């Protein structure tokens, strides 16, 4: 495991496309360029300051198999789980949970008592992942 850097943008865009394809969060109109911009926006702080010490990549044989990207939620000045993604061939192996647990521990070590997430209604895998990690539903 390691923290991500901006040098990982292209690989994370690949991961995003692979992880989200065929899920409720994939509308079918997304392109690699859109995924690249989303990841680049994360690193550039367009979404809120990236918390790279609280963000983690799970490596399997030197390849990124899963990622958990955390940044500041500017509106509330709280850490927000922006992306959790796992390569399609690694789904169901617990890698997202490992990355999320590491992110939660790093956030606690940084003095944050809470980590927030927005989950698309009906995204059962993400709902279960966050529930297992101790997240509580605030709305919806």
Are the beta carbons of 130 and 97 closer than 8 angstroms?
A: no
Q: Give the C-alpha separation, 64 to 86, whole Å.
A: 9
Task: Among 5-14, 22-31, 34-43, 101-110, name the one with the lowest average pLDDT.
Answer: 22-31
Q: Report all structural domains of the chain as residue ranges with CATH numbers, in order of start.
A: 6-132 (3.40.630.30)
> Which residue from 48, 65, 66 is spatially nearest to 126, judged by alpha carbons?
66
Which run of H or of E encompasses 23? none
Q: Which residue, chain included where needed, has tokens 């991500």?
A: 4
- pLDDT above 90 covers a percentage of the chain that reads 69
For the entire predicted model, the pTM comes to 0.89
pLDDT band at 43 (very low <50, low <70, confident <90, very high): very high
Give the separation between CA 119 and CA 129, rounded to whole angstroms.
11
- Give the chain's end-to-end CA distance (angstroms, integer): 33
Q: What is the pLDDT of residue 12?
A: 98
**For tokens 């690249």, what's the residue?**
36
């Amino acid at each position: 495991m390691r923290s991500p850097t901006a040098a990982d943008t292209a690989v994370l865009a690949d991961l995003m496309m692979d992880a989200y394809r065929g899920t409720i969060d994939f509308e079918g109109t997304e392109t690699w360029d859109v995924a690249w911009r989303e990841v680049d926006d994360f690193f550039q702080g367009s979404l809120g300051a990236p918390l790279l010490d609280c963000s983690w990549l799970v490596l399997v044989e030197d390849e990124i198999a899963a990622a958990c990207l955390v940044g500041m939620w500017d509106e509330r000045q709280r850490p927000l789980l922006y992306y959790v993604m796992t390569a399609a061939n690694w789904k169901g192996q617990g890698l997202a949970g490992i990355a999320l647990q590491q992110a939660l521990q790093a956030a606690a070590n940084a003095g944050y008592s809470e980590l927030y997430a927005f989950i698309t209604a009906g995204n059962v895998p993400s709902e279960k992942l966050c529930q297992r990690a101790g997240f509580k539903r605030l709305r919806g």
